[in-house]
């Protein structure tokens, strides 16, 4: 019977495992972090990768070493020696993984509670996902937008729901995501720690427009945020009654989730400067965006797709909105010059 030298695979374990663990601990395998809570998830992810790297090193080293050291001689035809187990070894390979897994489980539970814990002075943002866009409501300011603007270092509680199918609210730079489920409100907390521009992505396959279900995220300074709030609430002044009703309907029915009102690019064409402009349609024809065009665009969106956009707007507004409500929305669009 051949006798191996346990020192060789032991050393090999670390030669393979340590650089791999180091790589996963340091490597930019996720985008730069922008949420305080996300940091805890990052730590857990890297720790699990590092432990898994060492386990991989252990298995690969002993397997590789055995293949070479215990290979059969060409002339050796006898059976291998019978083995009756090794109690110490069996205890070790049961107890050690048990301790490792229980520790990771306990740490994971702690992190789960930590990231879900309510923070002082939270700002509530109600997130609604629908096929195929997002709207964000700030109850404290009476604002509903299609763009998520957040003050840096401000704890946010996102109350997430959906109006149709299951979506998932996810900003990769914030790390953790949460399902948006019809008839139910799920809460996820993030404290943005870095100013910058990110994107909300839908992380649940939800139909043909799933990949386009994006919304811009801007993390800004506290002063900039207050400026933004003033702009949003100030814009209401000077609207006719009909236009004001139209503006409220546009928030309520999620129009602004896809159609920006400030010229920003979105899933659908912006409403800024839309009224009276010349539209180039996907079929090559052009048309002027007058009342008649806008009415048709709302009740039968597939009939006149603007060049460069996809046909993903729901064709349900004909039933959801009254004629008068549609006129109000058009009145609102007229004010967005
Ligand atoms: Cu909503 Cu995918």
For atom 1 of ligand 1, the residue with the nearest CA is 167
**How large is the greatest C-alpha to C-alpha distance in the chain, in angstroms?**
98
Give the count of beta carbons closer than 10 Å to the beta carbon of residue 140.
10
Q: How many A from CA of 305 to the centre of ligand 1?
A: 21
DSSP structure string for 72-134:
PPTT--SPPPP----HHHHHHHHHHHHHHHHHHHHHHHHHHHHHHSPPTTPEEEEEEEETTEE
Please list the residues that pair with 229 across neighbouring strands.
none
Instruction: Share the mean pLDDT of the chain.
Output: 88
Give yes or no for a contact between 200 and 214, defined as CB atoms under 8 angstroms apart. yes
Give this prediction's pTM.
Answer: 0.71
- Residue 112 CA, distance from chain mean position: 18
Give the count of beta carbons closer than 10 Å to the beta carbon of residue 104.
14
Q: How many A from CA of 79 to the centre of ligand 1?
A: 60
CB of 219 sitting under 6 A from ligand 1: no
More confident residue, 95 or 278: 95
pLDDT digits (tens, 9 = 90+) for 25-57: 888 888 889 999 999 988 999 999 999 999 999
Which residues are CB-neighbours of 50 under 8 A, at least 6 positions away?
Answer: 21, 22, 24, 25
The ligand 1 atom at the shortest distance from the C-alpha of residue 206 is: 2
pLDDT digits (tens, 9 = 90+) for 70-94: 888 888 888 878 888 889 999 999 9
- Enter the tokens of residue 27: 């490597």
Give yes or no for a contact between 311 and 267, defined as CB atoms under 8 angstroms apart. no
pLDDT-above-70 percentage for the chain? 98
* 234, pLDDT greater than 70: no
Which residues are CB-neighbours of 71 under 8 A, at least 6 positions away?
Answer: none
In angstroms, the CA 191 to CA 173 distance is: 12
Give yes or no for a contact between 200 and 147, defined as CB atoms under 8 angstroms apart. no
Among 20-34, 204-218, 256-270, 274-288, which is the least confidently predicted range? 256-270
pLDDT digits (tens, 9 = 90+) for 132-187: 889 999 988 888 888 899 999 999 999 999 999 999 999 999 999 999 999 999 99
Question: Taking the chain, what is the end-to-end CA distance rounded to the nearest angstrom?
Answer: 89
**Is 168 exposed, middle or buried (CB count within 10 Å of its CB: 0-12, 13-18, 19+)?**
buried
CB of 194 sitting under 6 A from ligand 1: no
Closest CA to 297 of 337, 334, 326: 326
The ligand 1 atom at the shortest distance from the C-alpha of residue 132 is: 1
Report the residue count for the chain.
Answer: 337
CB of 206 sitting under 6 A from ligand 1: yes
CB of 167 sitting under 6 A from ligand 1: yes
- Enter the tokens of residue 150: 């957040």
């Amino acid at each position: 019977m051949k006798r191996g030298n346990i020192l060789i695979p032991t050393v090999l374990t670390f030669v393979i495992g340590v650089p791999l663990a180091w790589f996963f601990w340091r490597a930019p395998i996720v985008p730069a972090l922008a949420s305080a809570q996300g940091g805890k998830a990052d730590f857990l992810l890297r720790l699990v990768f590092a432990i898994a790297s060492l386990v991989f090193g252990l298995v690969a080293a002993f397997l590789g070493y055995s293949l070479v050291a215990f290979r059969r001689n060409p002339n050796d035809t006898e059976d291998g020696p019978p083995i009756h187990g090794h109690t110490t070894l069996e205890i070790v390979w049961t107890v050690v993984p048990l301790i490792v897994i229980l520790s990771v489980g306990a740490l994971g539970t702690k992190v789960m509670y930590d990231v879900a814990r309510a923070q002082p002075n939270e700002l509530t943002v109600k997130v609604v996902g629908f096929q195929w866009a997002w709207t964000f409501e700030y109850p404290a300011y009476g604002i509903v937008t299609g763009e998520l603007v957040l003050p840096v270092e401000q704890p946010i509680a996102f109350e997430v729901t959906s109006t149709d199918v299951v979506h998932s609210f996810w900003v990769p730079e914030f790390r953790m995501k949460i399902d948006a489920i019809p008839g139910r409100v799920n809460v996820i907390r993030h404290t943005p720690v870095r100013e910058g521009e990110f994107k909300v992505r839908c992380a649940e396959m939800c139909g043909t427009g799933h990949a386009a279900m994006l919304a811009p995220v801007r993390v800004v300074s506290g002063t900039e945020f207050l400026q933004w709030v003033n702009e949003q609430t100030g814009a209401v002044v000077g609207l006719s009654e009909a236009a004001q009703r139209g503006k409220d309907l546009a928030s309520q029915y999620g129009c602004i989730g896809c159609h920006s009102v400030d010229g920003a690019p979105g899933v659908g064409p912006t409403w800024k400067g839309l009224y009276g402009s010349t539209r180039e349609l996907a079929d090559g024809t052009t048309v002027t965006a007058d009342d008649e065009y806008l009415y048709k665009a709302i009740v039968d969106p597939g009939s006149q797709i603007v060049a460069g956009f996809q046909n993903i707007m729901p064709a349900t507004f004909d039933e959801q909105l009254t004629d008068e409500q549609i006129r109000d929305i058009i009145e609102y669009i007229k004010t967005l010059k």
